[in-house]
Amino acid sequence: MARKFNFSAGPAMLPTAVIERAQAEMLDWNGSGMSTMEMSHRGKEYMSIAAKAEADLRDVMGIPDNYKVLFLQGGASSQFAMIPLNLMGDKTSADYINTGMWSKKAIAEAKRYITVNIAADTSDNGFTSVPTQAELKLDPNAAYVHYTPNETIGGVEFDYIPETNGVPLIADMSSTILSRPIDVSRFGMIYAGAQKNIGPAGLTIVIIRDDLLGKATDICPTMFNYATHADNDSMYNTPATYSWYMAGLVFEWLKGLGGLEGMAAINKRKAEKLYAVIDGSDFYANPVAINARSWMNVPFTLADAELDAAFLKGAAERGLVTLKGHRSVGGMRASIYNAMPEAGVDALVAYMQEFEAANA
Amino acid sequence: MARKFNFSAGPAMLPTAVIERAQAEMLDWNGSGMSTMEMSHRGKEYMSIAAKAEADLRDVMGIPDNYKVLFLQGGASSQFAMIPLNLMGDKTSADYINTGMWSKKAIAEAKRYITVNIAADTSDNGFTSVPTQAELKLDPNAAYVHYTPNETIGGVEFDYIPETNGVPLIADMSSTILSRPIDVSRFGMIYAGAQKNIGPAGLTIVIIRDDLLGKATDICPTMFNYATHADNDSMYNTPATYSWYMAGLVFEWLKGLGGLEGMAAINKRKAEKLYAVIDGSDFYANPVAINARSWMNVPFTLADAELDAAFLKGAAERGLVTLKGHRSVGGMRASIYNAMPEAGVDALVAYMQEFEAANA
């Protein structure tokens, strides 16, 4: 058995050390005589697992005490409705920054519940940049400002946190959370599907400032109301217990690597290696503005798209898999989340150079 | 390491053979070089796992072709809102049968969206019976009839399927699905949280008749619309991939036991053994009408509640755990889902007899 280097955009690689530990604990967690997925979520053992995971995430991210951390289900796609349903309050509009496919999905769902003001839109350049702070047309009366700090498909990442002058800033961090330190206090709410940098799919983390809770509209389903979950420590109903446990193992692993500072240094190096081989060649190309390039998702095209199939085949033969780009962008996409070892990036870089030499 | 006999109401035991297989496949599924939880849900390998799980469930339950099977998130609690939001159509009311705690929760959420007619209510006798067909006050103009075939807390199970004369019958089967054969064609929709008889928490199965799709109200969030998921084979967004895979292993295991006929024979025997020791004693009691006793959840009280703690302590010493009853009922509750081996029930029965002899 050889573990592959899996460049999937999500669900994605998990650290091999984490998978090995989950395997070892599978039949019998800590002498309990059962798997964590078999435990009552109300029992002492599972409660300790859940509490430790939250404490470790708070520690790793430096989450202030006036923020609740929720372990929910339904993915970022559910958040797209939950955000307006919970946060509109007595306001009539919200600001959305449109930088790609995931921004657009959030906007489409929000429009069903609230007037959406597009504060900036980079579709003119094919979503290859991020707007500057000066370009943001922010409404001081907006209920909130929503943006997507990292667009998984376009490979575009904000290099700054927008200043919203007191209007709550809401961020879909699904594909960037835990990749580097961030100042949580700048945000009203952060949310992320787990299946990229946190753990298995089916878990969604929401980090929300206390004062934003308790304002849901009348039509908001009980299970879509953040207060429901905040008031019950995410155990109003049975949570995704196993995914929560796995996330806890990932948070522990991150702490062992030196937390987000340590992780950021590795991620920066990995991304720089990959962009260097792309930029150093006329054979590979990435269209994204230098300042807006994602550390996590690196799309690139080959000079001749007819070579794509051969590139993917050769990569797979070397254990480098799930490199095909999203159909809306074409070419390749290497997602290099936290769990992708630097050795995986090195192997990809070596293969890209080899393939170019043989085919350019 | 000794596996415990875990009588949790959910999350609950999974078959040891299933857990062992998941453990063996954890680092490398079928030579893929990755765990199933690391696979892209759009990839060929994961798609084959998902499709096989659905096919096996259809086979095991005998689900007709005009029903869609959805693999969702959010638990039965999310369904409580999704049902009226999707199924009210141009009707103004729905019928609900109230037989316990979970019925009540479904009713409370439905009332936020539709007029609820209580077709029957057994609260007068403390939820220890099921209404007869003749006692059901059904409205022919109701959008649907909702009931809970098995109440997990009260340990009350319907011994018949209500006849609704063409009005769609909706059943929360969370704690009874897959425990015995059922005629799916009698239902408009069946739903079940996975964490009792299907797999890990965080997965919800919905089996819905085609003609009930596509009628969601305007306010229904996209992710709460059954049609969203039916139109995309439950992959509109990233599903709970690992839980879906685990459910597939459970479905395979069920087929190996002879499907639901084989499972029912075992479950009937397990339940009869436990009720026999309760009924054959003045020390233990179960208040539920004989015809309405659950095969899956067996609550019982001791003659003297002051012995509860000693009973639980002795049970735990014998590897019989999570037997404490729900706080609303008191005493004990033995949940004996499919994965509880008959040997577990035998061990519990022997311990109950021993404890009675020592303390009666």
A172 an active-site residue?
yes
**Is B140 in contact with B165 (CB distance < 8 Å)?**
yes
A102 an active-site residue?
yes
Asked if A223 is an interface residue toward chain B (Cβ–Cβ < 8 A), one would say yes
User: Do residue B23 and residue A19 have CB atoms under 8 angstroms apart?
Assistant: no
Going by the annotation, the residues of the binding site of A for pyridoxal 5'-phosphate are 76-77, 102, 152, 172, 195, 237-238
Chain B residues with CB inside 8 Å of A41's CB?
Answer: 11, 201
Which member of A26, A109, A193 has the closest CB to residue B222? A109
Cβ-based burial of B10 (10 A; exposed 0-12, middle 13-18, buried ≥19): buried
Query: How does DSSP classify residue A190?
Result: E
Note the pLDDT tens digit of each residue in A271-322: 999 999 999 999 999 999 999 999 999 999 999 999 999 999 999 999 999 9
B195 labelled ligand-binding: yes
Note the pLDDT tens digit of each residue in A317-349: 999 999 999 988 889 999 999 999 999 999 999
Which member of B4, B200, B224 has the closest CB to residue A241? B200
In order along its 360 residues, chain B shows pLDDT tens digits of 589 999 999 999 999 999 999 999 999 999 999 999 999 999 999 999 999 999 999 999 999 999 999 999 999 999 999 999 999 999 999 999 999 999 999 999 999 999 999 999 999 999 999 999 999 999 999 999 999 999 999 999 999 999 999 999 999 999 999 999 999 999 999 999 999 999 999 999 999 999 999 999 999 999 999 999 999 999 999 999 999 999 999 999 999 999 999 999 999 999 999 999 999 999 999 999 999 999 999 999 999 999 999 999 999 999 999 999 998 888 999 999 999 999 999 999 999 999 999 998
Q: Which residues pair with B69 in a beta bridge?
A: B207
List the domains of chain A with CATH numbers. 5-16+258-359 (3.90.1150.10), 26-256 (3.40.640.10)
Task: Collect all residues with Cβ–Cβ distance below 8 Å to B134 and sequence separation of at least 6.
Answer: none
Query: How does DSSP classify residue A324?
Result: B
Sheet strands side by side (includes B284-285): B284-285, B297-302, B332-335
B196 an active-site residue?
yes
Cβ within 8 Å of A, B 62-81: 73-78, 80-81
**pLDDT < 50 positions in chain A:** none
Both tokens assigned to A202: 């089916």
Shortest CA distance from B76: residue in chain A:
A237
Asked if B106 is an interface residue toward chain A (Cβ–Cβ < 8 A), one would say no
What's the CA gap between A84 and A19, in Å, rounded? Answer: 37
The pLDDT score that the predictor gives to residue A1 is 52
Helix B44-61 and helix B241-256, axial crossing angle in degrees, nearest 10: 40
Q: Which residue in the block uniquely carries the two structure tokens 């690196």?
A: A298
What's the CA gap between A59 and A38, in Å, rounded? Answer: 27
Residue of A35, A82, A235 for testing the chain B interface, max B β-carbons within 10 Å: A35
Shortest CA distance from B243: residue in chain A:
A202
- If phi over 0 gives left and psi between -120 and 50 gives alpha, with beta otherwise, what is residue A62? left
- If phi over 0 gives left and psi between -120 and 50 gives alpha, with beta otherwise, what is residue B38? alpha
What's the CA gap between A312 and A186, in Å, rounded? Answer: 41
Which member of A22, A32, A236 has the closest CB to residue B26? A22
The pLDDT score that the predictor gives to residue B2 is 83
Task: Collect all residues with Cβ–Cβ distance below 8 Å to A146 and sequence separation of at least 6.
Answer: A83, A94, A95, A96, A97, A103, A106, A107, A110, A170, A171, A172
Task: Collect all residues with Cβ–Cβ distance below 8 Å to B309 and sequence separation of at least 6.
Answer: none
Q: Which residues pair with A95 in a beta bridge?
A: A117, A145
The pLDDT score that the predictor gives to residue B1 is 52
**Is B89 in contact with B212 (CB distance < 8 Å)?**
no
Asked if A35 is an interface residue toward chain B (Cβ–Cβ < 8 A), one would say yes
Determine the 3-state secondary structure of A10 from DSSP.
coil
Query: How does DSSP classify residue A192?
Result: E
**Is B110 in contact with B92 (CB distance < 8 Å)?**
no
B359 labelled ligand-binding: no
3-state per-residue secondary structure call for A208-267: EEHHHCCCCCCCCCHHHCHHHHHCCCCCCCCCCHHHHHHHHHHHHHHHHCCHHHHHHHHH
Shortest CA distance from B9: residue in chain A:
A40
**Is B162 in contact with B133 (CB distance < 8 Å)?**
yes
B237 labelled ligand-binding: yes
User: Do residue A202 and residue B243 have CB atoms under 8 angstroms apart?
Assistant: yes
Q: Which residues pair with A147 in a beta bridge?
A: A171
User: Do residue A77 and residue B236 have CB atoms under 8 angstroms apart?
Assistant: yes
Backbone angles phi, psi at B336, to 5 degrees: -120, 65
Q: How many CA atoms lie within 13 A of B285 on its CB side?
A: 11
What's the CA gap between B202 and B78, in Å, rounded? Answer: 11
User: Do residue B8 and residue A40 have CB atoms under 8 angstroms apart?
Assistant: yes
The pLDDT score that the predictor gives to residue B328 is 85
User: Do residue A222 and residue B81 have CB atoms under 8 angstroms apart?
Assistant: yes
Going by the annotation, the residues of the binding site of A are 42, 76-77, 102, 152, 172, 195, 237-238
